[in-house]
Structure 1
C-alpha cells in the first residue's frame, strides 16, 4: 500500500496540471469571445454546448466519471461564458437600459395612491416615506393602485410586499410582472396590531374578528387562544375598523392599527396582539417612470428559466461570479404552466456598477423574460 503523503503529492501535481490547463482553456475562450465580438455572434450557443458535453461524456470510462466530467465541464463552460460577458463590456458593448438616474425622487406636486381607507398601514408607510403634506387618495384594491399610476391618475403607489411574520404578499409580486411599473423606493414600518371594538364592547362580548388575511395570520396565536371567535377576512385592516363602526355590533371587533381607533371612534380592547413583537411590513413605492436615485443600493429583478436540470443553479451563479450579495429570493407559479415558476430576487447593487451589468447581461442571455423591477 502506498503512503498517503505520496498519494497526496501526486494529487497536488495533477491539480497543478488541471489549473494550468484551465487557464489555457480560458485564454482560448477569450479568443472565441474576440471572434464573437467581431462577428456579432451571441455568447451562448446551447446546441454547441450540448453536443460538446455529449462528446466529453463519451470519453469517460465509467458511469461515475461520466456524471462527474459532465458536471465539471458544465461549470467550465459557464465560467467561459461569464468571462466572455465581461469582455463584451470591456469592448463597450452594453445593453441599453431604459432606466434613468435621478438625484432624488421628484415629490413636489405629486399624487400618491394607496389601497384601503383612511388609517390603513399603507397610509402610515406613505406618510413616513413622503411626509404628511402630500396629495393622496385611496382605492379599493392593489390592482386599482397599479392601474392608477399606469393611467397617470397618480405618480406613485404604495404597496405592501412582505411581512416579517406572515411572509410575502403574493398578489403584489404577480402585479409587478403584469404591469410595466417599477419600484423606486421602499419603506419598512413596525406593525402594531390592536383589537378594536365598539364603545360599549368588552373583550368577553367578542365572537367575530375582522381584518386583512395578513393581519389575521400575524395574530394567529392570539386568535387561537380565543377558540370561540370567528375570523373574517376584509380587504384592508382599516376597512375592518370602518366596518365595526358602521355595523355598531358589540360582538364584532377588528384587528387594525391604534390610529384607526381614533379615526373611527372605536374602543381599544387589547393592544399589541400580534404574535411577533418585532412584526414589520416592507412597503414598496412604485412608479410608471423607469428611474432610480443615483446612490440606490438595492436591485429587484424577476426571471423565468428553462424547465430543466441545473437552470436555477446556473442563473444564480452569475451573482456568485460577480461577487453580488443576494438579499432575498422568492418563487411564484407561472399561470397556465403547471409546476413552472418565475423567480424574484433582490440583491445589493446599482445599475451603473460594472459587476451588476455583467450579471444582468449573463442573466438576460441565459434566462427567459428577465425583467428589472427597480433600483432603489
Structure 2
C-alpha cells in the first residue's frame, strides 16, 4: 500500500523546488526587461510565447499533462510579462490626461443635458451643478455628445446605467465614437409614477408613454395591467409632455413627480418601478482630457484578440496590481461576428503606480485601449 505521508513529503520537496526555480526564472525575467528597456523592444512577443508553449507541451507524456503544462506555463509567462511591465513602464505610460484640483465651473459654464424639461437627467444636472450655470437640453444622447465636442457646451449630462436594467448600450457606443471624456458621475434614486390627465383614473388608461428604460423598470406593473400598452418615447418627460399636449384621458406616462408639476398631470399610481432601490447613474462628460486629483474611479474600454483566455489575461492585470474592478460590460463589434469591445470600471487614480502599470500591460496586449475618464 502507498505511504500517504511519504507521498505528501515528496510533494512538499517538489513544491519547494518549483518555488526556487520560479524565483530564479523571475530573476532572469528582470534581465530580459533590462535588455528591452535598453533596446526599446516590446515586452509581449506573441509568436515566441506560442512557439515556446508548443515546445513545452511536447515534453509532457500524455494529453492531460500537455494541457496542464500549457495552462501552467501560460500563467508563468503572464506573470513574467507583468514583472517586465512594472520595470519597463515607469513614466513611459502614455496617458493623455492632465491632473487638476477641481472641475472648472462658474456662472458662465454651459451644460447640456438629455431629455425634455422635468426629466431625471435635468434633476441629476441640477443636483450636480446647481442652478448657477447656463444650461440647455437636447432630445438625443448623440446631440449631447455633439454639443460638447463642438464647444457649444462645456459639460454634458447623460444616463449610463440603472440598477434594475443595467447599462444603456447607446451611451457606451457613443463614448467610443466621440473623444469626449468622463469627468464626473452622479447617482440619482429614481421613483417612477404613473401620470394622467387631472380627470383620468387608472381604469381609463390604455396606453402609457415613456423612455425604453422607464418601461423596462416598470415591466412588472405593466404585466399586471395588460390592458395598458407601452409606447416608447425619447425620454420619460417627453411622455409626460405628450399626455398633456394630446389631452386624451386614455393616455398616461411613466415619469417622475417633477413632470406632474411641470405639465399639470395627476399621479394615478406611485412607485410603479418594481425595484424599490431603483437608481440611475449619470455621467458628466467634457471635451478636455483632465481629471481631478482626488478622482477615485477609472473607466476604460478595449478590444481583444478573438482567442481563448484573452479576456482572462486582460483582467489579470487588475488582480496583479491589486485594483478593484467594479463593473464590466461588453458591446458587439460592428462587422465582426461574435467579437466584442469590453468596458471596465475600476477604482484608482491615473497617477497611481499600480494603475499606470495595469494600463501599460493592457495596452501592450489588447488590440486597442481607450481611457474614457478618471473621476
Instruction: State the TM-score, normalizing by the size of structure 2.
Output: 0.99
Structure 2 residue aligned with 1:96: 94
Displacement after TM superposition at 1:101 (Å): 0.7
CA distance in 2, matches of 1:273, 1:168: 20
CA distance in 2, matches of 1:340, 1:72: 27
- 1:50-61 equivalence runs, <5 A: 50-61=50-61
For the structure 1 residues 37 and 357, does the alpha-carbon distance in structure 2 shift closer, same or farther, using more than 3 Å as the test?
same
CA distance in 1, matches of 2:356, 2:115: 38
- 1:158-169 equivalence runs, <5 A: 158-169=157-168
Gaps in structure 2 of 5+ consecutive residues:
none
1:244-290, CA deviations, whole angstroms, 9 ceiling, x for partnerless residues? 01000000000000001110111111111110111000000011111
4+ runs deviating over 6 angstroms = none
Alignment partner of 1:77 is 2:77: yes
- 1:24-43 equivalence runs, <5 A: 24-43=24-43
Displacement after TM superposition at 1:96 (Å): 2.9
Structure 1 residue aligned with 2:12: 12
CA distance in 1, matches of 2:139, 2:233: 11
Structure 2 residue aligned with 1:283: 282
Structure 1 residue aligned with 2:259: 260
CA distance in 1, matches of 2:318, 2:131: 39
Displacement after TM superposition at 1:133 (Å): 2.3
Structure 2 residue aligned with 1:106: 104
SS in 2 for 1:259: helix
Structure 1 residue aligned with 2:232: 233
CA distance in 2, matches of 1:13, 1:290: 54
Structure 2 residue aligned with 1:347: 346
Displacement after TM superposition at 1:131 (Å): 0.8
Structure 1 residue aligned with 2:200: 201
Displacement after TM superposition at 1:86 (Å): 0.7
Structure 1 residue aligned with 2:211: 212
CA distance in 1, matches of 2:10, 2:91: 44
CA distance in 2, matches of 1:238, 1:350: 36
Displacement after TM superposition at 1:2 (Å): 2.0
Displacement after TM superposition at 1:93 (Å): 4.5
Displacement after TM superposition at 1:75 (Å): 0.6
Alignment partner of 1:368 is 2:357: no
* CA RMSD of superposed structures (Å): 0.8
1:286-331, CA deviations, whole angstroms, 9 ceiling, x for partnerless residues? 1111111001000000001000011001001100111111000111
CA distance in 2, matches of 1:191, 1:39: 56
Instruction: State the TM-score, normalizing by the size of structure 1.
Output: 0.98
CA distance in 2, matches of 1:133, 1:117: 20
Alignment partner of 1:126 is 2:125: yes
Displacement after TM superposition at 1:140 (Å): 1.2
- 1:170-185 equivalence runs, <5 A: 170-185=169-184
CA distance in 2, matches of 1:40, 1:221: 59
Q: How many residue pairs are counted as aligned between the two chains?
A: 374
CA distance in 2, matches of 1:196, 1:132: 27
SS in 1 for 2:283: strand
- 1:278-317 equivalence runs, <5 A: 278-317=277-316
